[in-house]
Amino acid sequence: MTDSHDQPTEVFSRRAAREGAAKPKAAPAGGIRAVIAKHPTAWLFSALGVVFLLLATGSVFAGIASGSGQVEAVPLPTESAPPPRPQPSAVPAGTHLRTCSIASAAALPDLGTLAASVVNASTGETLFDRAATTPSTPANVNQLLAAANAIKILGAGTQLSTRVIDGSSEGTIVLVGGGDPTLATTSSSVYDGAPLISDLATSAMAAYTAKHPGKPVTNIVLDTSLWNAADNWDESWPSSERANGYMPYIVPLMVDGDRDDPSDPESARGEDPVSRAGQAFAAAAGLKNVTFSSGSATSATVLAEVKSQPISTLVGQMLLNGDNALAEMLTRVASKTAGFGGSSASIGQMIPLTMKDLGLDATGLISKDGSGESPSNSVPPALVSQLLVKVVANSDGLGAIYAGMAVAGQSGNLYDRFTGNNAVAAGKVAGVTGWITNARSLAGVINAPDGTQLAFAFYGLGDAISTDTKEALDTLATAAYTCGNNLSNN
């Protein structure tokens, strides 16, 4: 076998020992020498490296040997723990990114200057705001405040009474007005379920005859002392409202809302509601030769009494068709009941206080009347929408307001609205309408396709307002309906 120069010399040493060789053989010509001869520079540097390593190691041991015999431990540096990071008390909830814009509908020219508020009725979160906190003219949307005021002060179940009291002398009876404009001369009254003056007259005459047999009634005293009957018209209301059938004189005693035609909501109103009521009672009682006088009842003997529907029902009859007579009468009765005297001037103090009692921000609120006919009323749209949030929740019995509002395309002042492209929202919007000079409004509750209920108040204001504004308001409400809770304020 031929030995290769690549095999280590240790192999040869062990082989020699096994064979009992007397002395080692010389390295073959191809061994380490040949390698060193072939690569002298590499071997030189390798040798120098080994020498340097040995010298360095020796220096280290020499240094240790010349030092102290005791090795002292070197203390490691200590690090203080970092102060704890402050933690938030609560992790803020994520913000819903809303992407559905109604900006184009809000910019319709027929809206004039828009003041608007849309709120998620479940959470109270404002979704859309255009001058929402700026007090502006609400027109007849103001009746929402009057309705809440009546329910809060009078109570949803309260009824308004009209009574006949025995007079202080024989032959005299007193017809006492209780602020009920629904007292009706016919069952075909615009006020469904209204008390009939014929029932009042029949009962009164029976009681009077039993008490004063053989003594006919010769005088009827008309008692309007619940509030000052001379305080019956606001100077900011156009006098044409009576002839146009929108507003009667506001007095404590009247029949049929003082309409010429009791079955026509917009029938012309008269010039003397109290006298009309007296004549209607006398006719129903069969009294032909009787005189009338003004005064107050002094006797405690009630001969007869009829009552209106509950306040909750009257509120619905008011809101459904925007009945100004009911709005004003309920506001005056509430003022009297709350201790404000029933005057028109007291409204400005009473309604803001009621809104505060309901937990609403009444900043900037100016209340001139209950109906909204006065341009001097000033109500932020945000106040209306926040009131409607409470209506949806039935807070303080305010759910009667929601039940009484007109429904888009179906009833009341909205029966012929939300047509064409807006028909998609028909039946899905409950609201109250308003229109006076330079102001047209719509407010209520939208039941959106995603299940969200939106409380809203839209005012179109300025010289651009016309009959076309109502369609623009419907378009804006329909746009909000389509968006639901995805409504963006952009």
pLDDT at 197: 98
Nearest to 417 by CA among 471, 481, 461: 471
pLDDT at 77: 46
Strand order in the sheet with 219-223: 291-294, 219-223, 172-176, 161-166, 302-307
The dihedral over CA atoms of 385, 391, 397, 399, expressed in degrees to the nearest 10, equals 150
Domains of the chain: 103-155+314-486 (3.40.710.10), 161-309 (no CATH)
pLDDT at 91: 53
Q: Do residues 433 and 406 make contact, with C-beta atoms less than 8 angstroms apart?
A: yes
C-alpha span between 295 and 291 (Å, rounded): 13
C-alpha span between 440 and 116 (Å, rounded): 12
Nearest to 241 by CA among 108, 373, 78, 71: 373
pLDDT at 97: 87
Q: In degrees rounded to 5, what are phi and psi of residue 134?
A: -90, 120
CA atoms within 13 A on the CB side of 348: 10
pLDDT by position in tens, the chain (length 490) = 433 333 333 333 333 333 333 333 444 444 444 444 444 444 333 443 433 333 333 433 334 333 444 434 444 445 455 566 555 555 555 557 899 999 999 999 999 999 999 999 999 999 999 999 999 999 999 999 999 999 999 999 999 999 999 999 999 999 999 999 999 999 999 999 999 999 999 999 999 999 999 999 999 999 999 999 999 999 999 999 999 999 999 999 999 999 999 999 999 999 999 999 999 999 999 999 999 999 999 999 999 999 999 999 999 999 999 999 999 999 999 999 999 999 999 999 999 999 999 999 999 999 999 999 999 999 999 999 999 999 999 999 999 999 999 999 999 999 999 999 999 999 999 999 999 999 999 999 999 999 999 999 999 999 999 999 999 999 999 999 999 999 999 9
> How many C-beta neighbours within 10 Å does residue 242 have?
18
CA atoms within 13 A on the CB side of 40: 1
Name the one residue in this structure whose structure tokens are 């027929």. 110
Q: Do residues 462 and 74 make contact, with C-beta atoms less than 8 angstroms apart?
A: no
Q: Residue 39: is it exposed, middle or buried by C-beta count within 10 angstroms (0-12/13-18/19+)?
A: exposed
